[in-house]
Chains A and B, each alone.
Chain A
Amino acid sequence: MEILAVRDMTFTYPNCKKPAIENISLTLERGELAVLCGATGSGKSTLLRMLKRELSPMGQVSGSVIFCGKALGELSDRESASEIGFVMQKPEQQIVTDKVWHELAFGLENLGTPPAHISRRIAEMASYFGIGDWFGRDTAELSGGQKQLLNLASVLVMQPKLLILDEPTAQLDPIAASDFIATLRRIANDFSITILMAEHRLEEVVPLCDRLLVMDGGKLIGEGSPSEVLAGLGDRKDIMCGMPAASRLFAALGEQGKAPLTVREGRNFIESTYANSVRALESKTAPHDGEAALEYEGVCFRYAKNGADVLDSLSLRVNTGELFCILGGNGSGKTTALSAAAGLLKPYSGKIRVFGKKLKDYKNRSLYRECLAMLPQDVQTVFLRNTVREELEDCNAELKELPYDLSPLLEQHPYDLSGGQQQLVALAKVLAAHPRLLLLDEPTKGLDAAAKESFIELLKRLKADGLTVVTVTHDVEFAALCADRCAMFFGGKIVSEGAPREFFSENSFYTTAVSRMTRGYFDGAVTLSDAAELCRLNGRKES
């Protein structure tokens, strides 16, 4: 059954000449899981908001949206609120009330559902999602993943027929994100709810979805089953860069036909198509044995007197001129280690040295002048002014010195920028202090694939200028592409470290998709370019 039909929809924001979305037509069947992808600014969010009446932006509209046989405008307020559910990007800001149970009840309370009925529905929902354990907790205590799951549950409790999600996993760590996506798949299967989600973290969602929609410049340029759509996108590098590794490899090798999506399919594709007489690439690791830029020596830290050690005699040495990535799961103490290096937290024992000098010997905040700077996880916290220009003037940043161009953004409010742009402005502010050691906390969070690629280029350029960079991240693909050395953080200390190629090929679970795909067939292929090069070297199998 057809749930949603959009016909020739065009929408133009007031005071804009170019339409934000143009001639969009699409239909969604009951129980379908459709993924909408496209670069930032391609009109994904606008399209999604046009489908939810309460959130539709003001402007000029033409075309029609038919929901379950009725025009969107003809639905009653209550139908519209309950039958089309909408989940947004930011987990925290969507939550309305202070208690988990109250948040679940909120939508039904608005609809005037009798209390006995509400109790029953939220009890069902809490059991289905396994929320029972934190049902009575404060919403503020939840982790990001739990918050987003709560947002999903509190929309589902209203029993929508169509669920729209706008980049729901952008702010989550990879594990929470894949849990969230698996939950969506389960909902679509179990309740035949139609799901339409915009997403830029596509590695996991594309293999699971029934339909892939690709937007570019306000137009729908691809629609259909994922492997067909991907096969047709081979030459669009800007769009392909967010896709699953298997399909990117497929495109990079210039193959035609049905693209592989999962690690398993990618593996089958490589083994059946390419030989493996050349197993490994020559390694060209240039060892860095310079001076130490940052040194931890037996550092211990805990937040509360009776709490557990978050840093458990951590020892680590980062050399000058290195790009060092610290990887690890949630709560392993990565961010704490970084904050301790930035002098924001005081360890109770052990020493931290920055350029050979102990932290406490940097008197009168001289640590933050031309020495060390930290970019926090939430880049919004960096901004204090109303325009980008004021921000930059505030810290005497020279636009010309920057390796990228910010001039088109100068008059905008920092909060109105996209995630990638915010990151660049924040970095400009940080670099204005001319640090020699740059600490980055999850710099790729919330960035789309294209922004991530340009950020990696930027980091490499900064490194070439002599900056030492220490990055804490969840993002293994990012670390594999840019790091000189990687370290795995677990239980408050470093458990393994090495150059990315050895580091990721020795790890079997915590590693890149390419490494998992080529394990045992090629040696030490960690990034896409490694794998593509190996395939080319070996040539096609004779069949």
Chain B
Amino acid sequence: MRSFSEYNPIAVAVWFFSVTGVAMFCSYPVLMVISLAGGVLFFLKRNGFTHGKTHLFFWLLFAVLALANPLISHNGKTVLFVMNHNPVTLEAALYGVNSAVMIIGVLYWFRSFTQIMTSEKLLYITGALSPKLSLVLSMALRFVPLFSRQSAKISAAQTAMGLYKEDNIVDDIRGKSRIFSIMVTWALENGIITADSMEARGFGTGRRTQLRRFGFRTGDILLLTATLLLLGVTAAAIGTGALSFEFYPSMEMKELTFPGISGIISYAALVMLPIFIETEAELRWKYLRSGI
């Protein structure tokens, strides 16, 4: 009954990279449209109708990307019109639209991915690869905000002490550069204390273990298996050439066979997985509550 974002980060990450991986390494228009539609739907499902600026930015980018290709690339048979002595072709225009669908779809996915993958989950995943790397990342995640807070403090202290004598840019820059140089000293100084604290707590005395805050439950295993299975079918369809589409010199689509169709259906199912999961959780919750 967990929502999708509460599943084990590894299962979630594998799913994300399966969806975006297919979208990035194949250009079959149907799959691209599925990816974009799924990406938008998933983002809306999580955020409702907020984040207007993100949407606006993505769709402006979409327009730019879609228009750019036919202006630059002049391949293709069907000339629509001639602009500045250069032919603008139907194939190039559609190719542009297709790439724009791909890029914007992937961008939507990554936007949701960064929302779901908090620093803690990323550390969990890197920890599975290398505990040392994970510790370094964790320390960095702590240090970066600390550094910026301290430099803001120093800047305020210096302002109130008259470091910036005149109200002009040159003086501001000189002051800022001095603050940066003392921040380096400060960081080293702090580093010594942190190193002492680490050593005092037995860092480097032997093999480290890592506490994991996320376990693998049945649901996670199901999600992982389903993801890999659906990805396998889709990849097989793409790999065997059952799903291929040529834009140049003229658009040519291979006739859909059974492997092709099953590839498309698997990808659609893969993209819809989290939406199934969320809907199922909601329904079950409603049912339980009505029972109480």
Residues of A within 8 A of B (CB): 52, 54-55, 77-78, 81-82, 85-86, 88, 90, 92-99, 101-102, 105-115, 118-119, 122, 138-140, 151, 154-155, 158, 339, 342-344, 363-365, 368-369, 372-376, 378, 380-386, 395, 415, 429-430, 433, 439
Contact residue range for chain B?
35 or more
The residues of B that contact A106 with a CB separation of less than 8 Å are 198, 201, 203
The residues of A that contact B202 with a CB separation of less than 8 Å are 77-78, 81-82, 107, 110-111, 158
Between-chain CB contacts (< 8 Å), 17 pairs: A78-B206, A81-B202, A93-B190, A94-B194, A94-B196, A96-B138, A98-B141, A101-B213, A109-B208, A110-B202, A113-B209, A114-B209, A119-B211, A140-B145, A140-B146, A158-B202, A384-B181
Q: Which residue of B lies closest to A86 (CB)?
A: B200
Q: 19 other contacts beyond A101-B211, A381-B156, with CB at 8 A cut-off?
A: A93-B197, A96-B138, A102-B211, A106-B201, A108-B209, A108-B211, A110-B206, A112-B207, A114-B209, A115-B211, A115-B212, A158-B201, A342-B160, A364-B167, A365-B167, A376-B153, A386-B185, A415-B189, A430-B161
Q: Which secondary structure dominates chain A's binding surface?
A: mixed
Q: State whether A415 and B139 are in contact (beta carbons under 8 Å apart), knowing that A96-B194, A110-B201, A368-B160 are contacts in the complex.
A: no
The residues of B that contact A118 with a CB separation of less than 8 Å are 209, 211
Complex Cα–Cα for A191 and B200 (A): 21
| A-contact 0/1 string along B138-169, CB 8 Å cutoff | 11011001100110011011111111111100
Q: Check B156 against A109 for contact (C-beta < 8 Å).
A: no
Q: Check A373 against B194 for contact (C-beta < 8 Å).
A: no
Q: State whether A433 and B161 are in contact (beta carbons under 8 Å apart), knowing that A93-B194, A365-B166 are contacts in the complex.
A: yes
- In the complex, whether B199 has a CB less than 8 A from a CB of chain A is yes
Q: Which 3 pairs between the two chains have the least Cβ-Cβ distance? A: A81-B202, A368-B162, A93-B193
Complex Cα–Cα for A282 and B198 (A): 57
The residues of A that contact B164 with a CB separation of less than 8 Å are 365
Contact of B197 among A82, A88, A365, A383 (CB under 8 A): A88
- In the complex, whether B204 has a CB less than 8 A from a CB of chain A is yes
Q: Which residue of A lies closest to B120 (CB)?
A: A99
CB distance from B272 to the nearest CB of A (A): 31
Q: Check A112 against B206 for contact (C-beta < 8 Å).
A: yes
A-B contact count (CB 8 A): 176
Contact of A107 among B139, B161, B201 (CB under 8 A): B201
The residues of B that contact A429 with a CB separation of less than 8 Å are 161
Q: State whether A54 and B200 are in contact (beta carbons under 8 Å apart), knowing that A90-B193, A378-B153, A384-B158 are contacts in the complex.
A: yes
Q: Which residue of A lies closest to B167 (CB)?
A: A364
Q: State whether A55 and B201 are in contact (beta carbons under 8 Å apart), knowing that A118-B211, A139-B142, A368-B160 are contacts in the complex.
A: no
Q: Which residue of B lies closest to A383 (CB)?
A: B182
Q: Which residue of A lies closest to B150 (CB)?
A: A381
Contact of B157 among A102, A139, A376 (CB under 8 A): A376
Complex Cα–Cα for A55 and B194 (A): 12
- In the complex, whether B240 has a CB less than 8 A from a CB of chain A is no
- In the complex, whether B250 has a CB less than 8 A from a CB of chain A is no
- In the complex, whether B135 has a CB less than 8 A from a CB of chain A is yes
Contact of A81 among B179, B201, B209 (CB under 8 A): B201
The residues of A that contact B178 with a CB separation of less than 8 Å are 384
Q: Check A343 against B160 for contact (C-beta < 8 Å).
A: yes
Q: Check A110 against B138 for contact (C-beta < 8 Å).
A: no
Q: Check B190 against A111 for contact (C-beta < 8 Å).
A: no
The residues of B that contact A107 with a CB separation of less than 8 Å are 201-202
Complex Cα–Cα for A516 and B242 (A): 89
Complex Cα–Cα for A378 and B209 (A): 37
